[in-house]
Amino acid sequence: MSNYIPLKTTILPLENGDRLTRPEFERRYQAMPNHQKVELIEGVVYMASPLRFRSHGEPHAQINTWLGVYYAATPGVLAADNTTVRLDGENEPQPDAILFINPNLGGQCHISEDDYIEGAPELIVEIAASSAAYDLYDKKRAYQRNGVQEYLVWQVYERQICWWKLQEGEYIALETDGNGVIKSQVFPGLWLEVRSLLEGNLAQVLKKLQEGIESVEHQEFIRRLC
């Protein structure tokens, strides 16, 4: 008769730089005593550092205010802040802001039974301290490969807004028009006056957004959705 006693399975803690599958990443994350922002990008674990006010907290609030106003004015569109997205077997990011079409109205992602976003949202926004951040490299490749239709990165230190549209499998930069405004190609009426945002003039940003919301193309978009 064997005296073998099986050892209790130990769930290892998440460590920055771990290379894991998404199921193993989720298993270890759920076992963490104090949940914090942790992402899996191209199979690598990234653990968030403490976030500063001017380089992240304030820009984050401004972006979510801008998207929130559009969300409130656009039935059929949903928004999320810092929500986990199950993209594929090696990617589970937690974007700073998300805008997506209701899955019941033809959106390309869906909400899982355990309340996570699965698939690629139509628009993802990230706040990056500089161009060296992984938001512009590994994340960008993962978002592009999985079909995120538009991707916006605010490079705070460099005072730059980069906004890409997926076209034939590649990200193409959206340019400002003659008035310094970038207009979403996926969400009609979602207009961003870049200079005003970089200068911290949120009131002007929202004023220009309101012009987009009142545009004919935005009204047609709502009719198509609803």
pLDDT digits (tens, 9 = 90+) for 46-63: 887 788 899 999 999 999
Q: pLDDT at position 211, please?
A: 98
User: Is the confidence at residue 73, as pLDDT, over 60?
Assistant: yes
Mean pLDDT confidence for 81-106? 96
**Residues 157-194: pLDDT tens digits?**
999 999 999 999 999 999 999 999 999 999 999 999 99
Q: Which residue has the tokens 């899955």?
A: 103
pTM value is: 0.89
Dihedral (CA of 78, 190, 140, 130) sign: negative
Question: Which domains does the chain possess?
Answer: 51-225 (3.90.1570.10)
Q: What percent of the chain has pLDDT over 90?
A: 72
d(CA 51, CA 64): 16
Cα–Cα nearest to 209, from 224, 226, 196, 225: 196
The helices-and-strands tally (H runs, E runs) of the chain is: 6, 13
d(CA 99, CA 111): 13
